[in-house]
Chains A and B, each alone.
Chain A
Amino acid sequence: MLSSYLTMAAILFCIGLYGALVKRNAVIILLSIELMLNAVNLNLVAFSKYGVVPSLTGQMFTLFSIAVAAAEAAVGIAVLIALFRARGTVNVDEYDEMRR
């Protein structure tokens, strides 16, 4: 059972990674990052149930990380809105301040 959960999490993670690296829309990138986070959460839950030493600690951590992810998403959205106001676009190709 464990391997199918892990496979699922890996697929989810890769989709998220693909979205984060390839998509041009900043909102979709944020969503993709959430996807990757959730893949990790899925892993934690899977291990807490079917791991070598099953315990509830993994699920507790998952709750924590969901909370942290929500906070992070809120911050991300806030930054994004600020950026959108400043630059008038959500296209990440035009965010190249790092080069200057």
Chain B
Amino acid sequence: MDTSFSQVAWLIPLFPFVAFLLLLAFGRGQRTLGVLLGSISSFAGLVLSILVLIEHMSDGTKYYQYSFKWLDFDGLTMNAGYEVTNLTALMLVVVTLVSFLVNVYSAGYMKGDERISVFYSYVALFSFSMLGLVLADNMLTLYIFWELVGVCSFLLVGFWFSKPEAKAAAKKAFIVTRIGDAGLLLGILLLYWYMPDHALDFVHIGNVFDGQTGIIAASVTTWIAILIFVGAVGKSGQFPLHVWLPDAMEGPTPISALIHAATMVAAGVYLVARTFDIFQASQTAMDVVAYIGGFTAIFAATIGVAQNDIKRILAYSTVSQLGYMMMALGLGSMTGGIFHLFTHAFFKALLFLGAGSVIHAVHTQNIQEMGGLSAKMKITTWTFGIGTLALSGIPPFSGFWSKDMILNTALHEKPVLFAVGVAAAFFTAFYMSRLFFLVFMGKPKGEQHAHESPASMTIPLIILAVLAAASGFIQTPWNNTLGTWLTDGAEKEHGGAGIVMVISAAVGLLGLYLGWLVFVKGTIARDAISSRAPWLVRLLERKYYMDEIYEALLVRPLRGLGYLLNAIDEYIVDGLVQLVSGTAVWFGRGGTRVQNGQIQTYGVVTVLGLIVLLVALVGRRFW
């Protein structure tokens, strides 16, 4: 058998890992080493990933899996290994590509930061973990990398740890995703318990669940699927665990693009896609996924309308788009979910990097303080505009095709979710036009010395803009390339897409037009809603009071419980310990007082001891 690139796919995560180790060892005080190592290693990974992808696109199956025995207890064997399927090959390219571009971009964006080499080492560690997650061939290995990306996210959100908000955001991100991780762990344990031979690798999982042979009871299947989905909810920022993602925007902007838009948050979607057989075996679980996804999509999109921080708008947009992906998966369209993941990775990374370029230029994140940047930042404006169009779902940009596919599936499967999806698409277009027009059009506000960003930042923008514009053509209603390739044509196709295309394009254009009317032309006053229903605007601005609700319902009681437990520890446990030690000390004190050098005292003690001895000896007789 010829060696194929898939066989050496294990090298892909190793490149950034080596970069991480080198930076860890030699990075201190270096300024350019990080940029160099980060870019080279991620480029090497990118090249190899593309080779693997090309290999998988050519005819003939190039599936490759390798695993070795990792742990062997009595009757319990754990394997670790990697697996290259079409899905992983696609994800590898997405991750390495965005990672490479972000590495290059950060060379410009993080230039002035004195911990730039630490930054690059974290990014390299993240790339390693994310690629490991993608390549993992069983649930346990995946879980390890799953936690590792969580750690990297924590480190990078809190990268500017001298800012209290960044510290709080890092903690929040870690704790909230941990809730999801606990669910995932339980899901894995349940799966382990019920799987024949305790196999955890995806091939066996697929075989067991795909056949619907009833090896595992239906209720157990539902539970496993839902618990795994809980993990995905935490990682992918789905309602109700979405609260960490907007706060995570305290991290450096390239990180928001890499981790919190393109790759790590998509890991939840990827996980569901990877274990799709389990979900498909349980209609209940599928419905849960679909409705949670749909609700998140509309929920986050409406919040995005009322935010003023450029990165927070994009963060809520990410939450909303991830909701779309989940919805697609829940509706049974793995192709739709993965396709949207694929296009979203490009246009959302583009938007975040564009936002970073803007922030770099004007040193604020509040869009109300920006304006008229199009004259000064031509490349950023154009690329950001393409990203906006792609996200809003305007043909022929990539977002249109993927969104269209999801909406089309929804129309055929669950018309309610179709309506939700269309509404969310409208809000998406509206907040994106608001963002775009407020930032780039109008008059410049305040004293601004905005300037175009350096080439290291604009070139990634241009590359991503091309991808955001064109990547949608791999899957259109007439051309089911991706679907066939990804699922072996097993997935149901939905015809009659014409009406959906018209509706989704119209809704997107309507949103953009409305934004134009409000924020450029001024036909509709900006305070048209806020003057009539201030409570509504405040509700959206405060994000439906989710943080406050959590504060009141969860954080406070938990903190109270914490204080209570702390008090128990302090007064009861510590009290017991102090009682013991105090008694010893008290005896010691008494002892020193007795040992005063007076022979008479010693004599008294001796006599007392003698009396005790005598009483003991004589008294024994009486019982």
Contacts and interface: CB of A to CB of B under 8 A. Distances in A.
A21 B607 contact: yes
A64 to B, nearest CB: 26
A98 B599 CA distance: 8
Interface in B23-58: none
Contacts of A97: 597
Given A17-B607, A21-B604, A21-B607, A99 B596 contact: yes
Contacts of A99: 595-597
A96 B604 contact: no
A2 B603 CA distance: 29
Contact of A92 (B595, B600, B604, B607): B600
B598 interface: yes
B597 A96 contact: yes
Question: Which secondary structure dominates where chain A touches chain B?
Answer: helix
A22 B598 CA distance: 11
A45 interface: no
A100 interface: yes
Interface in B291-327: none
A36 B596 CA distance: 25
Contacts of B595: 99
Given A17-B607, A21-B607, A96 B600 contact: no
A31 to B, nearest CB: 15
A99 B597 CA distance: 4
A16 to B, nearest CB: 12
Nearest to B602: A98
Contacts, number: 25
Number of chain B interface residues as a range:
under 10
A22 B601 CA distance: 9
Contacts of A17: 607
Interface in A51-89: none
A39 to B, nearest CB: 15
A21 B600 contact: yes
Nearest to A29: B600
B588 to A, nearest CB: 16
Interface in B586-611: 595-600, 603-604, 607
Contacts of B598: 92-93, 95-96, 98
A21 B595 CA distance: 15
Nearest to A100: B597
Nearest to B600: A21
Contacts of B607: 17, 21
Contacts of A9: none
A20 B603 contact: yes
A24 to B, nearest CB: 9
A98 B597 contact: yes
A57 B604 CA distance: 34
22 contacts: A17-B607, A20-B600, A20-B603, A21-B600, A21-B603, A21-B607, A22-B600, A92-B598, A92-B599, A92-B600, A93-B598, A95-B598, A95-B599, A96-B596, A96-B597, A97-B597, A98-B598, A98-B599, A99-B595, A99-B596, A99-B597, A100-B597
Given A21-B603, A21-B604, A92-B598, 10 more contacts: A20-B600, A20-B603, A22-B600, A92-B599, A92-B600, A95-B598, A95-B599, A98-B597, A98-B598, A99-B596
